[in-house]
Amino acid sequence: PFGNRRSSSSGSGVPGFVPLHEGVFLTNVLEPDGMPSARTRGDPPLRFLQSAHCPLEVATVVAKEADEYNGFNLILADLTRNVMVCVSNGPKGQPAMIQLVSPGLHVMSNARLDIPWQKAIHLGKNFREFITKHGDDEVEAKDIADRLMTDTTRADKDRLPNTGCDPNWEHGLSSIFIEVQTDKGLYGTRCTAVLSVNYDGEASLYE
């Protein structure tokens, strides 16, 4: 999900913005077993959006109670101060981690920021090449999504992450665009979004 401070939007993937001054992104963490009684991971994003606290202050509070949630990555951004913070509580058994997100290119999958999973490395490489190719030229969001997010190449089986999940399941989830046939039908990527923000804080979303 994505949201903008002072927005009433809190749905899964439905943003509220323009102009964009603060934002929050939330992903789950790939893990074999979740806690049935865990607190909803939708609470920390709302806490930030509904407060006047800076990203680091909110991240510090969330990290203290991180073991009450199933695995998540939470990115909190204040574009007026050029501050972005990531707090993660996975994998299980490890303390929550807070890190300031430096300027540049970062990739997040269902693990900690910039985890060296094969698809994350591949996506980062493709994105850098895409930026180098187009430079300062304006690029359609659809072209970005089609070029970067439709790759169905799966990781080599000897380079799968050790998340504790079934190796066959991990292999099915190891591509950028996911398509896995299960007993209940096709499982995989449902949508792709491109969010861009210009220097004036104006945001646009392509899905």
Answer with the one of 62, 78, 105 that is the final residue of a domain.
105
CA dist 181 and 188 (Å) reads 9
Q: Give this prediction's pTM.
A: 0.82
Tally the domains of the chain. 2
Q: 3-class SS at 3? A: strand
At 52-77, the pLDDT tens digits run: 899 999 999 999 999 999 999 999 99
At 3-57, the pLDDT tens digits run: 454 433 333 343 444 456 788 999 988 888 888 999 999 999 999 988 889 999 9
Average pLDDT of the segment spanning 146-169 = 92
Range of the domain at 164: 116-207
CB neighbourhood size of 57 (10 A): 14
Query: Is there a domain that residue 111 lies in?
Result: no
Residues 135 and 99 in one domain: no
Could you give the percent of the chain with pLDDT greater than 70?
90
Given this model, what pLDDT does residue 6 score?
Answer: 45
Q: Which residues of the chain form beta strands (DSSP E)?
A: 2-4, 22-28, 72-78, 83-88, 97-100, 179-182, 185-188, 194-197, 203-206
Given this model, what pLDDT does residue 20 score?
Answer: 64
C-alpha gyration radius of the chain: 17
* Cα atoms in the Cβ-side hemisphere of radius 13 Å centred on 169: 11
Angle, helix 141-148 to helix 118-134, in steps of 10 degrees: 140
User: Would you say 204 and 141 are in contact if contact means Cβ atoms under 8 Å apart?
Assistant: yes
CA dist 187 and 116 (Å) reads 24
Residues 95 and 138 in one domain: no
CB neighbourhood size of 24 (10 A): 21
Whether the pLDDT of residue 138 is over 60: the answer is yes
Answer with the one of 77, 105, 133 that is the final residue of a domain.
105
Average pLDDT of the segment spanning 107-118 = 92
How far from chain centre, in Å, is Cα 28?
8
Residues 92 and 167 in one domain: no
Helix and strand counts by DSSP (H, E) for the chain: 5, 9
Given this model, what pLDDT does residue 196 score?
Answer: 87
The closest alpha carbon to 174, from 190, 183, 163, belongs to 163
Q: 3-class SS at 100? A: strand
